[in-house]
Amino acid sequence: MKSTFKAPLILTIGTLLIVLSVQSFAQPRGMTMNQVYRQVDKQINNANQRFQTQMQMQMQMSMNRNWKSYAGEGGRYTLTLKDSTTTNVTSYMFHDSVLRKNFLVYEDDEFAASDSVHHFKKIYPDQTINITALTYDDMGGDVPNYGVPTDTGWIFRVIVGPITVYAKSAEYLMLTDENKLDFASSEIIVIRNNDGPIEKLSKESLLKIIATDPKAVKLLDKKRMYEAVKKYNKDSEKSTKK
């Protein structure tokens, strides 16, 4: 039987305490009530993010331990293997804590499910040449997201342009509210400037690329990396067309 998580009431209780604390104490000197409530909203949002991160980590740890139970579930991938053959896999992205690598799982129907040693197979990044993740567009059609293997997993192009952005998950942008989006350091791995080398994402590496675009730099200074990349890409493509 597959294990499931029941979210504790930590977040609800924490949120209630924050609200009660505001209502119980006098208005802070020099702050309007609107400012107070904006501060409370910020604290609640931060608590929400910490809670969601914690729950995701717990879920991922459970899935990594019980990976065979989740075979045949997850995202859809097409892999080109080192022997030039291709294989289609439906799998979650698991993590091997011993080898410190991600892996995908597929079921080899040449062996009975009862023969769990041979029926369930792992595919590691160093066994592959490339990977394509299939996601859905608004009409339900397939959208290919191309990726490449690294030493520890696969990375997928989630933004394509003069600056290309790679993430651990091909669905990273799909699962995030674009209006509140910024790059999560745990998900966005590297960036690439045109045909240059792939570099680890950091404020410094991004600033080096966008330094000639003042508006993009201003967004970066406000810690809005996603918007800075989109702005730079848009401006660069405009100047190229002139």
The SS3 of residue 203 is helix
Instruction: Assess whether 92 and 113 both reside in one domain.
Output: yes
Q: Return d(Cα 230, Cα 162) in angstroms, integer.
A: 10
Domain boundaries, position 185: 153-242
Instruction: Assess whether 164 and 125 both reside in one domain.
Output: no
pLDDT at 225 > cutoff 70:
yes
**Domain tally for the chain?**
3
Question: In the beta sheet, which residues pair with residue 181?
Answer: none
Q: Which of 16-30, 72-86, 134-148, 189-203 has the lowest mean pLDDT?
A: 16-30
Neighbours of 71 (CB within 10 A): 19
Q: What is the reported pTM?
A: 0.64
CB 51 within 8 A of CB 10: yes
pLDDT at 207 > cutoff 90:
yes
The SS3 of residue 196 is coil
E strands, the chain, in order: 75-81, 86-91, 94-96, 101-107, 120-123, 128-136, 142-149, 154-159, 163-167, 188-193, 198-200
Considering 106, 122, 145, which residue would you say is the last residue of a domain?
145
Q: Binning pLDDT at 50, 70 and 90, where does residue 6 land?
A: very low
pLDDT tens, 50-80?
Answer: 666 566 566 666 666 777 888 888 889 999 9
CB 92 within 8 A of CB 102: no
Instruction: Assess whether 80 and 134 both reside in one domain.
Output: yes
pLDDT tens, 132-173?
Answer: 998 877 787 888 888 999 888 999 988 889 999 888 877 665
Instruction: Assess whether 72 and 138 both reside in one domain.
Output: yes
CB 126 within 8 A of CB 153: no
| Mean of the per-residue pLDDT values of the chain | 79
Q: What pLDDT score does 4 carry?
A: 43
Neighbours of 154 (CB within 10 A): 25
